[in-house]
Amino acid sequence: MRTTSCVAIFLPLLVAVAPGCKVGSGGESGASLYEKACARCHGPDGKGGIASAETQGTQSRDLSDPAWQKVVTDEELRQIVRDGRRTMPAFGHVLSLDRIDAIVKHLRSLAPKAP
């Protein structure tokens, strides 16, 4: 499937689903915040592998990897999103702490559950 048709299908779905799952983040769910702020580089499911001129060709790791999810703490995740890391942009000036928390919760939901 070409990227354009993916977007055309995905966006209406998101609009339909998002109002049902609000969290304490100004009425926006972690999933919709992730979709707006992170998915263009990390992919809708966090699998990553998207390099661009913006990141100087650096690909991000698979955020849904359960082995990595196990060792990274919520505080580290919050800090990476707030302050950025190497070619990963900082979001501390555009996202409130509530919103960053909601995104961190969403990141946790990307990892397949341990058996």
Return residues touching ligand HEC (CB under 6 A): 37-38, 40-42, 54-55, 58, 60-61, 63, 77, 80-81, 85-89, 91, 103, 107
Residues whose CB is less than 8 angstroms from the CB of residue 17 and which lie 6 or more positions away in sequence, other chains included:
31
Q: How far is the CB of 105 from ligand HEC (least distance, A)?
A: 11
Residues whose CB is less than 8 angstroms from the CB of residue 49 and which lie 6 or more positions away in sequence, other chains included:
43, 59, 60, 62
Choose between 23 and 81: whose C-beta lies nearer to ligand HEC.
81
* Distances, alpha carbon 44 to alpha carbons 53, 56, 93, 100, in Å: 19, 21, 23, 17
Q: How far is the CB of 99 from ligand HEC (least distance, A)?
A: 9
Query: Could you give the CA distance from residue 74 to residue 100 in angstroms, rounded to a whole number?
Result: 10
Choose between 86 and 115: whose C-beta lies nearer to ligand HEC.
86
Q: How far is the CB of 72 from ligand HEC (least distance, A)?
A: 6
For tokens 């769910």, name the residue: 29
Choose between 31 and 63: whose C-beta lies nearer to ligand HEC.
63
